Amino acid sequence: MTQIDAAGILDIALAGTSATLLAKKWESAMLVNVDNDTLRRVLNNPDAMAAVERIEGWRALGDNVIEIIINKSDEVKKLKDKVKDKDLTEKQKKELSEEEKEYKSKRKLVQEKLIKFATRIPAFMYLTDFRKNTLQDVITKLEPDLFRAVTGLTVEDFDLLIRLKVFNTEQMNQAVFAFRRYEDASLSYTGIDSHEGLTHYGLYDTVVARE
């Protein structure tokens, strides 16, 4: 549950969401995938590894963080499949618990860095004036230099991570739609029509009717 003030209620009435709820969409863990299969695809692709290492704060996670997460989680799973808890000594249980905590902690840190990158995308959308175009086209064809300046990644970097399913495009479509509606409703409330005659919103990789 999220507490909403009077301004938030007005936002929801006008735009279908509040600033707080909109921010939560762009900070949602559902925007990114950090399961082992996804991490393996990144690890096995040198260009993808170079791309994630350019994400702000990534190097602070330490060397070989993805490899450590995969290896330790696989080791823990194999051990759990091999023996039942009742067959483990207290020392083994403790070691297993510590290993599990370590890789889960590192996985969460990786997730947080990817989400932090995703939160740069609304800033990019604020700075671009294209509304009917999909965000994918704006990033790759219309404003690639601006995208790099705002996010720190090139078009090629981002496109590769999308293809490897690091980012969830379905969730991103929903977040972009919420952003578009909130932005337009906020401007309309002040008497401004930012894009006269706009009939469609460009989401991440699709276009939908405005109303």
Per-residue DSSP letters for 38-81? HHHHHHT-HHHHHHHTTSTTGGGG-TTHHHHHHHHHHHHHHHHH
Give 132's DSSP letter: S
pLDDT by residue (tens digit) across 138-173?
Answer: 788 888 898 899 889 998 998 999 999 999 888 888
Share of the chain above pLDDT 70, in %: 68
Least confident of 4-13, 95-104, 109-118, 184-193: 4-13
CA distance 131 to 200: 8
Segment 42-69 mean pLDDT: 94
pLDDT by residue (tens digit) across 106-150?
Answer: 999 999 999 999 888 877 776 776 666 677 877 888 888 988 998
Residue spans per domain, the chain: 33-117, 119-211
